[in-house]
Amino acid sequence: MNNSALLSFLCLFALLHQSLAASPQFNVIQFGAKPDGRTDSTSAFLAAWKQACSSTRGVTLYVPKGRFLTRSMLFKGPCRNSAIFIRIDGTLVAPSDIWAIGNNPNWIEFQYVNGVTISGGVLDGKGAPLWSCKLAGLFFSGKQTLGFSFCNNVLVSGVTSLNSQMFHVVINFCRNVKLQGVRISAPGNSPNTDGIHIQMSTGVTVVNTKVATGDDCVSIGPGAANLRIENFACGPGHGISIGSLGKNVNEPGVQNVTVKSTTFTGTTNGLRIKSWGKPSNGFARNILFQHATMNNVQNPIFIDQRYCPDRNCPDTVKKN
């Protein structure tokens, strides 16, 4: 880095630090949250968000050390500012009772928000009771841990997601989302616990991230475009999957995807593209897989054009 570039970086860092230092801070404790892991702190988190979202200046929403029990929380915009910094030093804990978490499909969800950063902390989804029900043949839908819908300019940095009931992170109808230094963990036999699911979104970047789970480490659904995954570790899990695609006749495709510098360890698949064996205008194009390391992977590269996990499959056989 030359002197001019270094000076520009230091100036930018100083301005960012000054901005954060001068911005209002809302500590969830001040709104009644209890860091004991037993008291329901849902209303306190939502009250803190309401204040942060209504501020005309950039703000910090702070979660200190401790364990905070919450049910489903919807952090909804649009907000009056586009610089909300959520700093988590503690752990958010879902209820152990799968019926107590709430009615939303996501445990923690952001909607219609522009310009939010989530930094640090642990999200403990307490998924084991739901997995036991599913493995016993009982059907319960469960909750996805962290969801973003219709959001722009999002950064998730240094967050750890543990034992999600369903998918850990879901990105849907979003633009310009970056996940960096994220850690996702669930047992290899935990059902439907995809690490990161991306669909109907553009400009998503996942870097320096590690996923160990019971389903796809990353699943890329219809409508995903301009996606980059780099310096990524997967295992256990089902690999990085594009699809399934082509389930519907009219369906947006997946395009401009770069996956490079990845490591797969003890996974069922490495890099996979899967599409249903029936007519559809869906597609996958401009896909680059590069510099992948496979350790004890059953199917290192798997392109399946007759994917069908159901019993009634169109002109094909059942696939797992």
The token pair that represents 201 in the structure block? 């979104």
The strand pair at 91-93 and 67-69 is best described as parallel
Residue 291 designated active-site = no
From the candidates 17, 197, 238, 291, give the one annotated as an active-site residue.
238
Residues in Cβ contact with 312 at an 8 Å cutoff, skipping those fewer than 6 apart = none
3-state secondary structure of 109: strand
Sign of CA dihedral 75, 172, 265, 118: negative
Structure tokens at 301: 């590269």
DSSP 17-51: HHHHHHS-EEEGGGGT--TEEEEE-HHHHHHHHHH
CA 78 to CA 181: how far, in whole Å?
27
The Cα–Cα gap between 219 and 272 comes to 10
Q: Which residue shows structure tokens 């901005």? A: 19
- As annotated, the active-site residues are 238
